[in-house]
Structure 1
Amino acid sequence: MGLREEKKERTRTVILSTAWQLFADHGYDAVTVQQVAAAAGVAPATVFNYFGTKEDLFFPRLEEFNAELVAQVAQRPVGTSVLAAVRTFFADSGGLLAGAATGDQAAAVRLRTLNRVVEESPALQARELAAMERSTAALTAALLEEAGPGGEEIVARTAAAAITGMHRALVLRVRRSLLTREPVDRLAAEVAAATDAALDLLAGGLADLPAGLGGSR
Protein backbone atom coordinates (compact mmCIF):
# COMPACT_ATOMS: atom_id res chain seq x y z
CA MET A 1 0.00 0.00 0.00
CA GLY A 2 1.40 3.38 -1.04
CA LEU A 3 1.57 6.49 1.13
CA ARG A 4 -1.53 7.99 -0.46
CA GLU A 5 -3.52 4.82 0.16
CA GLU A 6 -2.28 4.65 3.75
CA LYS A 7 -3.35 8.25 4.33
CA LYS A 8 -6.79 7.56 2.86
CA GLU A 9 -7.20 4.48 5.03
CA ARG A 10 -6.20 6.43 8.15
CA THR A 11 -8.71 9.15 7.30
CA ARG A 12 -11.44 6.58 6.76
CA THR A 13 -10.63 4.91 10.07
CA VAL A 14 -10.69 8.21 11.96
CA ILE A 15 -14.05 9.15 10.45
CA LEU A 16 -15.54 5.77 11.30
CA SER A 17 -14.25 5.67 14.87
CA THR A 18 -15.36 9.26 15.48
CA ALA A 19 -18.83 8.61 14.08
CA TRP A 20 -19.18 5.43 16.13
CA GLN A 21 -18.35 7.20 19.37
CA LEU A 22 -20.77 10.04 18.66
CA PHE A 23 -23.56 7.64 17.73
CA ALA A 24 -22.88 5.52 20.83
CA ASP A 25 -22.91 8.55 23.12
CA HIS A 26 -25.79 10.54 21.65
CA GLY A 27 -27.80 8.20 19.44
CA TYR A 28 -27.72 7.96 15.66
CA ASP A 29 -30.58 10.36 14.91
CA ALA A 30 -29.19 13.11 17.15
CA VAL A 31 -25.83 13.30 15.35
CA THR A 32 -25.29 15.05 12.02
CA VAL A 33 -22.67 14.41 9.38
CA GLN A 34 -21.41 17.94 10.01
CA GLN A 35 -20.80 17.06 13.66
CA VAL A 36 -18.95 13.90 12.68
CA ALA A 37 -16.79 15.85 10.24
CA ALA A 38 -15.96 18.54 12.81
CA ALA A 39 -15.04 15.99 15.47
CA ALA A 40 -12.91 14.05 12.97
CA GLY A 41 -11.17 17.20 11.79
CA VAL A 42 -12.30 16.93 8.17
CA ALA A 43 -14.76 18.70 5.91
CA PRO A 44 -18.29 17.28 5.46
CA ALA A 45 -17.46 16.76 1.78
CA THR A 46 -14.57 14.53 2.83
CA VAL A 47 -16.94 12.34 4.83
CA PHE A 48 -19.10 11.86 1.74
CA ASN A 49 -16.01 11.10 -0.34
CA TYR A 50 -15.58 7.99 1.80
CA PHE A 51 -19.19 7.18 2.69
CA GLY A 52 -22.14 7.62 0.38
CA THR A 53 -24.73 8.14 3.11
CA LYS A 54 -24.88 8.86 6.81
CA GLU A 55 -26.10 5.30 7.37
CA ASP A 56 -22.86 3.99 5.85
CA LEU A 57 -21.01 5.58 8.77
CA PHE A 58 -22.81 3.21 11.09
CA PHE A 59 -23.15 0.20 8.79
CA PRO A 60 -19.87 0.22 6.82
CA ARG A 61 -20.03 -3.54 6.15
CA LEU A 62 -23.76 -4.18 5.84
CA GLU A 63 -23.84 -4.31 2.06
CA GLU A 64 -20.54 -6.19 1.99
CA PHE A 65 -21.88 -8.89 4.34
CA ASN A 66 -24.97 -9.39 2.19
CA ALA A 67 -22.85 -9.48 -0.97
CA GLU A 68 -20.65 -12.15 0.59
CA LEU A 69 -23.73 -14.28 1.32
CA VAL A 70 -24.87 -14.03 -2.29
CA ALA A 71 -21.35 -14.84 -3.53
CA GLN A 72 -21.18 -17.89 -1.26
CA VAL A 73 -24.29 -19.23 -2.98
CA ALA A 74 -23.41 -18.21 -6.53
CA GLN A 75 -19.84 -19.52 -6.35
CA ARG A 76 -20.45 -22.70 -4.35
CA PRO A 77 -18.71 -25.88 -5.57
CA VAL A 78 -20.48 -28.19 -7.99
CA GLY A 79 -22.59 -30.66 -6.07
CA THR A 80 -23.11 -28.33 -3.10
CA SER A 81 -26.70 -27.31 -2.41
CA VAL A 82 -27.76 -23.72 -1.88
CA LEU A 83 -28.66 -24.36 1.74
CA ALA A 84 -25.38 -26.16 2.39
CA ALA A 85 -23.56 -23.07 1.13
CA VAL A 86 -25.71 -20.84 3.33
CA ARG A 87 -25.07 -23.07 6.34
CA THR A 88 -21.32 -22.86 5.77
CA PHE A 89 -21.51 -19.09 5.37
CA PHE A 90 -23.24 -18.53 8.68
CA ALA A 91 -21.02 -21.02 10.48
CA ASP A 92 -17.89 -19.26 9.22
CA SER A 93 -19.04 -15.64 9.34
CA GLY A 94 -18.07 -15.14 12.98
CA GLY A 95 -18.50 -11.46 13.70
CA LEU A 96 -18.99 -9.61 16.96
CA LEU A 97 -21.22 -12.27 18.49
CA ALA A 98 -18.61 -14.97 17.98
CA GLY A 99 -15.90 -12.73 19.40
CA ALA A 100 -18.01 -11.77 22.39
CA ALA A 101 -18.81 -15.42 23.08
CA THR A 102 -15.08 -16.14 23.50
CA GLY A 103 -14.80 -13.52 26.23
CA ASP A 104 -13.76 -10.54 24.12
CA GLN A 105 -15.22 -7.74 26.25
CA ALA A 106 -14.61 -5.07 23.62
CA ALA A 107 -16.61 -7.11 21.11
CA ALA A 108 -19.39 -7.63 23.65
CA VAL A 109 -19.63 -3.91 24.43
CA ARG A 110 -19.62 -2.98 20.75
CA LEU A 111 -22.26 -5.62 19.96
CA ARG A 112 -24.60 -4.37 22.68
CA THR A 113 -24.03 -0.75 21.70
CA LEU A 114 -24.65 -1.45 18.02
CA ASN A 115 -27.96 -3.13 18.71
CA ARG A 116 -29.04 -0.48 21.21
CA VAL A 117 -28.38 2.33 18.73
CA VAL A 118 -30.24 0.51 15.93
CA GLU A 119 -33.20 -0.20 18.21
CA GLU A 120 -33.45 3.53 18.96
CA SER A 121 -33.24 4.64 15.31
CA PRO A 122 -36.04 4.20 12.74
CA ALA A 123 -33.58 5.38 10.06
CA LEU A 124 -31.13 2.56 10.79
CA GLN A 125 -33.93 0.00 10.97
CA ALA A 126 -35.15 1.16 7.56
CA ARG A 127 -31.61 0.82 6.20
CA GLU A 128 -31.43 -2.75 7.49
CA LEU A 129 -34.71 -3.64 5.78
CA ALA A 130 -33.62 -2.00 2.52
CA ALA A 131 -30.34 -3.92 2.59
CA MET A 132 -32.21 -7.18 3.16
CA GLU A 133 -34.46 -6.45 0.16
CA ARG A 134 -31.43 -5.76 -2.02
CA SER A 135 -29.89 -9.00 -0.79
CA THR A 136 -33.09 -10.87 -1.67
CA ALA A 137 -33.08 -9.35 -5.16
CA ALA A 138 -29.40 -10.21 -5.72
CA LEU A 139 -29.87 -13.76 -4.48
CA THR A 140 -32.95 -14.15 -6.70
CA ALA A 141 -30.91 -13.02 -9.70
CA ALA A 142 -28.11 -15.48 -8.85
CA LEU A 143 -30.54 -18.37 -8.59
CA LEU A 144 -32.24 -17.45 -11.87
CA GLU A 145 -28.90 -17.18 -13.66
CA GLU A 146 -27.98 -20.64 -12.42
CA ALA A 147 -31.34 -22.05 -13.49
CA GLY A 148 -30.90 -20.74 -17.02
CA PRO A 149 -33.70 -20.14 -19.54
CA GLY A 150 -37.11 -21.08 -18.18
CA GLY A 151 -36.18 -20.49 -14.55
CA GLU A 152 -39.24 -19.52 -12.54
CA GLU A 153 -38.80 -16.12 -10.91
CA ILE A 154 -41.44 -16.68 -8.26
CA VAL A 155 -39.74 -19.88 -7.11
CA ALA A 156 -36.33 -18.22 -7.09
CA ARG A 157 -37.59 -15.19 -5.16
CA THR A 158 -39.41 -17.42 -2.67
CA ALA A 159 -36.21 -19.35 -1.99
CA ALA A 160 -34.17 -16.15 -1.74
CA ALA A 161 -36.73 -14.51 0.55
CA ALA A 162 -36.72 -17.56 2.81
CA ILE A 163 -32.94 -17.36 3.20
CA THR A 164 -32.79 -13.61 3.80
CA GLY A 165 -35.86 -13.83 6.02
CA MET A 166 -34.05 -16.37 8.17
CA HIS A 167 -31.11 -13.98 8.39
CA ARG A 168 -33.42 -11.16 9.42
CA ALA A 169 -35.01 -13.35 12.09
CA LEU A 170 -31.57 -14.15 13.52
CA VAL A 171 -30.63 -10.45 13.61
CA LEU A 172 -33.80 -9.61 15.51
CA ARG A 173 -33.33 -12.57 17.86
CA VAL A 174 -29.84 -11.37 18.75
CA ARG A 175 -31.02 -7.79 19.21
CA ARG A 176 -33.91 -8.68 21.48
CA SER A 177 -31.73 -10.89 23.64
CA LEU A 178 -28.91 -8.36 23.93
CA LEU A 179 -31.31 -5.61 24.95
CA THR A 180 -32.60 -7.83 27.76
CA ARG A 181 -28.98 -8.48 28.83
CA GLU A 182 -28.93 -12.19 28.05
CA PRO A 183 -25.40 -13.60 28.57
CA VAL A 184 -23.55 -13.46 25.27
CA ASP A 185 -22.00 -16.92 25.48
CA ARG A 186 -25.39 -18.54 25.97
CA LEU A 187 -26.88 -16.41 23.20
CA ALA A 188 -24.21 -17.47 20.71
CA ALA A 189 -24.96 -21.14 21.34
CA GLU A 190 -28.71 -20.55 21.05
CA VAL A 191 -28.32 -18.65 17.79
CA ALA A 192 -26.14 -21.39 16.31
CA ALA A 193 -28.75 -23.99 17.23
CA ALA A 194 -31.57 -21.81 15.89
CA THR A 195 -29.70 -21.32 12.61
CA ASP A 196 -29.33 -25.06 12.16
CA ALA A 197 -33.00 -25.63 13.01
CA ALA A 198 -34.14 -22.96 10.56
CA LEU A 199 -31.97 -24.34 7.76
CA ASP A 200 -33.21 -27.85 8.47
CA LEU A 201 -36.76 -26.55 8.17
CA LEU A 202 -35.99 -24.89 4.85
CA ALA A 203 -34.25 -28.03 3.61
CA GLY A 204 -37.31 -30.11 4.46
CA GLY A 205 -39.75 -27.62 3.01
CA LEU A 206 -42.71 -26.04 4.73
CA ALA A 207 -44.29 -29.47 5.09
CA ASP A 208 -42.03 -29.80 8.15
CA LEU A 209 -43.42 -26.64 9.76
CA PRO A 210 -44.37 -27.47 13.36
CA ALA A 211 -48.02 -27.83 14.30
CA GLY A 212 -49.45 -24.51 15.40
CA LEU A 213 -47.36 -22.61 12.88
CA GLY A 214 -49.25 -23.90 9.88
CA GLY A 215 -47.78 -27.40 9.75
CA SER A 216 -49.57 -30.73 9.83
CA ARG A 217 -51.68 -31.47 12.90
Structure 2
Amino acid sequence: MPGDGEGPREGLRERHKARRRSRIVDAVRELLRESPESAVSVERIAERAGVAPATVYNLIGPRERIWEALAAGFMEELERRLTGSEAGDPHVVVRTTVQLFVGDPVVSRRMVRAWDESGLVLDRSPLTRLAEAMAEARTRGLLRADVDVDALAAVVGAACVGALHQWVAALIDDDRFLTRALFALDVALAAAASDPYREELVAPLRSRDTG
Protein backbone atom coordinates (compact mmCIF):
# COMPACT_ATOMS: atom_id res chain seq x y z
CA MET A 1 0.00 0.00 0.00
CA PRO A 2 1.29 3.52 -0.76
CA GLY A 3 1.11 4.59 2.86
CA ASP A 4 3.15 1.66 4.16
CA GLY A 5 6.53 3.27 3.46
CA GLU A 6 5.62 6.86 4.29
CA GLY A 7 6.58 6.61 7.95
CA PRO A 8 10.15 5.33 7.42
CA ARG A 9 10.73 7.72 4.50
CA GLU A 10 9.49 10.65 6.54
CA GLY A 11 11.70 9.61 9.45
CA LEU A 12 14.75 9.41 7.17
CA ARG A 13 14.04 12.87 5.73
CA GLU A 14 13.72 14.32 9.21
CA ARG A 15 17.04 12.76 10.27
CA HIS A 16 18.76 14.19 7.18
CA LYS A 17 17.28 17.62 7.95
CA ALA A 18 18.41 17.38 11.58
CA ARG A 19 21.97 16.49 10.52
CA ARG A 20 22.14 19.38 8.05
CA ARG A 21 20.72 21.77 10.64
CA SER A 22 23.33 20.59 13.14
CA ARG A 23 26.10 21.19 10.58
CA ILE A 24 24.80 24.70 9.98
CA VAL A 25 24.72 25.58 13.69
CA ASP A 26 28.20 24.09 14.14
CA ALA A 27 29.41 26.22 11.23
CA VAL A 28 28.05 29.35 12.91
CA ARG A 29 29.91 28.49 16.12
CA GLU A 30 33.16 27.92 14.20
CA LEU A 31 32.86 31.22 12.35
CA LEU A 32 32.14 33.12 15.57
CA ARG A 33 35.15 31.60 17.31
CA GLU A 34 37.39 32.54 14.39
CA SER A 35 36.10 36.11 14.06
CA PRO A 36 34.02 37.02 17.13
CA GLU A 37 33.03 40.50 15.97
CA SER A 38 32.60 39.82 12.25
CA ALA A 39 29.23 39.63 10.55
CA VAL A 40 28.13 36.08 9.93
CA SER A 41 26.44 36.00 6.54
CA VAL A 42 24.22 33.21 5.28
CA GLU A 43 26.66 32.69 2.42
CA ARG A 44 29.63 32.16 4.77
CA ILE A 45 27.60 29.82 6.93
CA ALA A 46 26.50 27.81 3.92
CA GLU A 47 30.05 27.54 2.59
CA ARG A 48 31.39 26.35 5.95
CA ALA A 49 28.54 23.86 6.43
CA GLY A 50 28.83 22.49 2.90
CA VAL A 51 25.23 23.30 1.98
CA ALA A 52 23.48 25.74 -0.33
CA PRO A 53 22.45 29.15 1.03
CA ALA A 54 18.85 28.17 0.31
CA THR A 55 19.28 25.24 2.71
CA VAL A 56 20.28 27.64 5.49
CA TYR A 57 17.17 29.72 4.82
CA ASN A 58 14.96 26.63 4.69
CA LEU A 59 16.29 24.98 7.87
CA ILE A 60 17.19 28.02 9.98
CA GLY A 61 15.70 31.12 8.40
CA PRO A 62 17.18 34.57 7.75
CA ARG A 63 20.35 35.68 9.52
CA GLU A 64 18.56 37.06 12.59
CA ARG A 65 17.16 33.58 13.26
CA ILE A 66 20.69 32.20 13.61
CA TRP A 67 20.79 33.42 17.20
CA GLU A 68 17.56 31.61 17.93
CA ALA A 69 19.08 28.43 16.53
CA LEU A 70 22.16 28.88 18.72
CA ALA A 71 19.97 29.37 21.79
CA ALA A 72 17.97 26.25 20.91
CA GLY A 73 21.21 24.30 20.61
CA PHE A 74 22.26 25.66 24.00
CA MET A 75 19.02 24.40 25.52
CA GLU A 76 19.39 20.98 23.94
CA GLU A 77 22.90 20.60 25.32
CA LEU A 78 21.75 21.76 28.74
CA GLU A 79 18.97 19.18 28.74
CA ARG A 80 21.49 16.50 27.82
CA ARG A 81 23.81 17.49 30.66
CA LEU A 82 20.97 17.63 33.16
CA THR A 83 19.78 14.14 32.36
CA GLY A 84 20.65 12.06 35.41
CA SER A 85 20.05 11.57 39.08
CA GLU A 86 21.68 14.86 40.16
CA ALA A 87 19.39 16.97 37.97
CA GLY A 88 16.99 17.20 40.93
CA ASP A 89 19.49 19.34 42.84
CA PRO A 90 18.90 23.10 42.25
CA HIS A 91 22.63 23.73 42.68
CA VAL A 92 23.41 21.30 39.87
CA VAL A 93 20.94 23.07 37.56
CA VAL A 94 22.45 26.52 38.21
CA ARG A 95 26.06 25.32 38.12
CA THR A 96 25.55 23.36 34.89
CA THR A 97 23.88 26.32 33.20
CA VAL A 98 26.71 28.70 34.11
CA GLN A 99 29.36 26.17 33.09
CA LEU A 100 27.71 25.79 29.70
CA PHE A 101 27.90 29.55 29.12
CA VAL A 102 31.52 29.91 30.21
CA GLY A 103 32.59 26.74 28.41
CA ASP A 104 32.19 28.46 25.03
CA PRO A 105 32.64 32.14 25.94
CA VAL A 106 33.01 33.63 22.47
CA VAL A 107 29.82 32.06 21.17
CA SER A 108 27.91 32.63 24.41
CA ARG A 109 28.77 36.33 24.60
CA ARG A 110 27.91 36.96 20.97
CA MET A 111 24.68 35.00 21.27
CA VAL A 112 23.54 36.98 24.31
CA ARG A 113 24.52 40.34 22.82
CA ALA A 114 22.74 39.56 19.57
CA TRP A 115 19.59 38.25 21.15
CA ASP A 116 17.05 41.07 21.30
CA GLU A 117 15.75 39.88 24.65
CA SER A 118 18.72 38.00 25.96
CA GLY A 119 16.93 37.01 29.15
CA LEU A 120 14.94 34.58 27.04
CA VAL A 121 18.09 32.50 26.74
CA LEU A 122 17.35 31.44 30.33
CA ASP A 123 13.59 31.46 30.04
CA ARG A 124 12.87 27.94 28.85
CA SER A 125 14.78 24.87 29.91
CA PRO A 126 16.87 26.17 32.84
CA LEU A 127 13.97 27.80 34.66
CA THR A 128 11.76 24.79 34.10
CA ARG A 129 14.46 22.46 35.39
CA LEU A 130 15.18 24.74 38.33
CA ALA A 131 11.51 24.85 39.30
CA GLU A 132 11.34 21.06 39.05
CA ALA A 133 14.40 20.69 41.28
CA MET A 134 12.90 23.10 43.80
CA ALA A 135 9.63 21.16 43.74
CA GLU A 136 11.61 18.03 44.54
CA ALA A 137 13.31 19.85 47.43
CA ARG A 138 9.87 20.89 48.66
CA THR A 139 8.66 17.28 48.45
CA ARG A 140 11.68 16.16 50.48
CA GLY A 141 10.77 18.71 53.15
CA LEU A 142 13.71 21.07 52.62
CA LEU A 143 11.40 23.89 51.53
CA ARG A 144 8.12 24.94 53.07
CA ALA A 145 5.00 23.32 51.68
CA ASP A 146 3.47 26.70 50.80
CA VAL A 147 6.40 27.80 48.61
CA ASP A 148 5.58 28.71 45.00
CA VAL A 149 8.54 27.06 43.26
CA ASP A 150 7.81 28.71 39.91
CA ALA A 151 8.00 32.17 41.46
CA LEU A 152 11.10 31.20 43.43
CA ALA A 153 12.82 29.90 40.28
CA ALA A 154 11.87 33.09 38.41
CA VAL A 155 13.51 35.24 41.10
CA VAL A 156 16.70 33.18 40.93
CA GLY A 157 16.60 33.30 37.14
CA ALA A 158 16.36 37.09 37.13
CA ALA A 159 19.41 37.36 39.40
CA CYS A 160 21.33 34.91 37.20
CA VAL A 161 20.48 36.91 34.07
CA GLY A 162 21.90 40.00 35.77
CA ALA A 163 25.12 38.11 36.51
CA LEU A 164 25.12 36.81 32.94
CA HIS A 165 25.02 40.33 31.51
CA GLN A 166 27.88 41.39 33.76
CA TRP A 167 29.88 38.40 32.55
CA VAL A 168 29.05 39.16 28.90
CA ALA A 169 30.32 42.72 29.45
CA ALA A 170 33.51 41.28 31.03
CA LEU A 171 32.74 43.06 34.31
CA ILE A 172 33.09 39.78 36.18
CA ASP A 173 35.06 36.64 35.42
CA ASP A 174 33.86 33.04 35.13
CA ASP A 175 34.30 32.25 38.82
CA ARG A 176 32.47 35.39 39.94
CA PHE A 177 29.61 34.61 37.53
CA LEU A 178 29.19 31.20 39.12
CA THR A 179 29.55 32.58 42.65
CA ARG A 180 26.86 35.20 42.12
CA ALA A 181 24.46 32.75 40.50
CA LEU A 182 24.86 30.25 43.34
CA PHE A 183 24.55 33.00 45.93
CA ALA A 184 21.21 34.06 44.43
CA LEU A 185 20.06 30.46 44.62
CA ASP A 186 21.19 30.06 48.22
CA VAL A 187 19.40 33.26 49.26
CA ALA A 188 16.17 31.97 47.70
CA LEU A 189 16.51 28.52 49.28
CA ALA A 190 17.26 30.02 52.70
CA ALA A 191 14.23 32.29 52.48
CA ALA A 192 11.99 29.33 51.59
CA ALA A 193 13.56 26.81 53.97
CA SER A 194 11.39 24.69 56.23
CA ASP A 195 12.16 24.92 59.95
CA PRO A 196 14.08 21.60 60.21
CA TYR A 197 16.43 22.61 57.38
CA ARG A 198 16.71 26.35 58.00
CA GLU A 199 20.18 26.27 59.56
CA GLU A 200 21.48 23.92 56.83
CA LEU A 201 20.24 26.18 54.04
CA VAL A 202 21.33 29.42 55.69
CA ALA A 203 24.86 28.18 56.47
CA PRO A 204 26.29 28.71 52.93
CA LEU A 205 25.35 32.40 53.08
CA ARG A 206 27.47 33.01 56.14
CA SER A 207 30.72 31.96 54.50
CA ARG A 208 30.33 32.98 50.86
CA ASP A 209 32.15 35.94 49.34
CA THR A 210 29.92 37.27 46.57
CA GLY A 211 32.25 40.06 45.48
Which range, TM-score by smaller chain? 0.5 to 0.7
Contact 1:69 1:89 in 2 (8 A): no
Residue type of the alignment partner of 1:44: P
Q: 1:152-163 alignment to 2 at 5 Å?
A: 155-163=148-156
Contact 1:15 1:40 in 2 (8 A): yes
- Counting matched residue pairs gives 171
1:166 Cα shift?
3.2
Deviations 1:110-156 (A, max 9, x none): 51x335524652xx242x33343334774598589979xxx98x934
- Structure 1 residue 130 and structure 2 residue 146: aligned? no
- Structure 1 residue 174 and structure 2 residue 167: aligned? yes
- Structure 1 residue 20 and structure 2 residue 29: aligned? yes
CA RMSD of aligned residues (A): 4.8
Given the two structures, how large is their TM-score scaled by the length of structure 2?
0.53
SS in 2 for 1:19: helix
SS in 2 for 1:59: helix
Residue type of the alignment partner of 1:157: D
CA distance in 2, matches of 1:189, 1:70: 21
Contact 1:139 1:160 in 2 (8 A): no
1:61 to 60, 66, 73: 73
Q: Name the residue aligned to 2:53.
A: 44
SS in 1 for 2:160: helix
Contact 1:72 1:89 in 2 (8 A): no
Q: Name the residue aligned to 1:197.
A: 183
Contact 2:94 2:130 in 1 (8 A): no
Q: 1:59-208 alignment to 2 at 5 Å?
A: 59-64=71-76, 67=79, 76=88, 85-92=89-96, 94-95=99-100, 97=102, 110-111=104-105, 113-118=106-111, 120-121=113-114, 124-126=115-117, 128-135=118-125, 138=128, 142=132, 155-177=148-170, 187-205=173-191
Inter-CA distance 64–116: structure 2 relative to 1 (3 Å threshold):
closer
Contact 2:27 2:45 in 1 (8 A): yes
SS in 2 for 1:157: helix
1:92 Cα shift?
4.9
1:161 Cα shift?
0.6
Given the two structures, how large is their TM-score scaled by the length of structure 1?
0.52
Residue type of the alignment partner of 2:184: A
Contact 2:24 2:49 in 1 (8 A): yes
Inter-CA distance 39–204: structure 2 relative to 1 (3 Å threshold):
closer
| Identity %, equivalent residues | 19
CA distance in 2, matches of 1:129, 1:190: 19
1:202 Cα shift?
0.8
Inter-CA distance 41–88: structure 2 relative to 1 (3 Å threshold):
closer
Contact 2:46 2:53 in 1 (8 A): yes
Contact 1:118 1:125 in 2 (8 A): no
Segments of structure 2 that go 5 or more residues without pairing to the other structure are 1-12, 139-144, 193-201, 203-211
Q: Name the residue aligned to 1:103.
A: none
Segments of structure 1 that go 5 or more residues without pairing to the other structure are 77-84, 100-109, 209-217
Inter-CA distance 203–142: structure 2 relative to 1 (3 Å threshold):
closer
Please say which structure displays the higher CA radius of gyration: 2
Inter-CA distance 159–139: structure 2 relative to 1 (3 Å threshold):
farther
CA distance in 1, matches of 2:167, 2:84: 23
